[in-house]
Amino acid sequence: MRILLVLTIATALAAGLAAGAHASPRSDGHSVALARMVQLAESKIGTVALGRNSDKGGFIDTQVEAPFGFRGKPWCAMFVSWAARTAGVRFYSANAVGRGVKPTMLYGASVARIYDWASNAGLARGRMYLAQPGDLVIFDSPATSSRYDHIGIVVEPASGGVIHVVAGDNINPRQPHGHRGVFETTDHTSSKVLVGYVALSAARGVG
């Protein structure tokens, strides 16, 4: 009986080591940074642009748009970049191998550019992906010819076919005809306007 128990434990340990060898390296620091990004995004809920995309002298103007040199432009991607940059979200992409690979920081003013970056990094996911907090979700507006029109931050695990998203340059769900700003929406994962995700939670952390 004792020999059988020892063999069972040894087998379990070997299986665990094998699984660990094939798992993507993760870092608690990366998870903490993603959680901080979510908290930062949520802390700005209710911040509005005074015009279509104008917030002269305010948070949107000085912190979100100014680093890119853009004003009066769609700023949802810039808001995501602000949250990631401020939270210190730095990571190796899923495609990074070997030594000497520099960590990446998400930074972009264009939704399409962010999604292209994610595709090259091995972090783009389709509509069936089960989103986690800190992941990004991309939407397609039927009113434009572009496929990548809007981006937001997933703030709760996907559940029951819905995701909770905080996004900049967003329509206030309680006042659809009011000023655009940072608002949280509940979106159905089966929505035809949902294009896909950027799985930041699947990236390889760097500390």
Read off the pLDDT of residues 89-144 as tens digits, 9 standing for 90 and up.
Answer: 887 766 665 555 666 767 788 999 888 888 888 889 999 999 999 999 999 987 77
In a domain, 1, yes or no: no
In a domain, 8, yes or no: no
In a domain, 21, yes or no: no
Mean pLDDT of the chain: 80
Q: Decide if 187 contacts 50 (C-beta within 8 A).
A: no
In a domain, 40, yes or no: yes
CATH of the domain at 161: 3.90.1720.10
Report d(CA 94, CA 76) in Å as an integer: 24
In a domain, 143, yes or no: yes
In a domain, 160, yes or no: yes
Position 72 scores a pLDDT of: 77
Report d(CA 54, CA 161) in Å as an integer: 34
30 pLDDT tier (thresholds 50, 70, 90): confident
In a domain, 61, yes or no: yes
User: What is the span of the domain harbouring residue 110?
Assistant: 27-94+102-205
Q: What is the mean pLDDT of residues 174-179?
A: 84
Supply the pTM of this predicted model. 0.81
Please count the other Cβ atoms lying within 10 Å of the Cβ belonging to residue 50: 14
Report d(CA 163, CA 128) in Å as an integer: 12
The domain tally of the chain equals 1
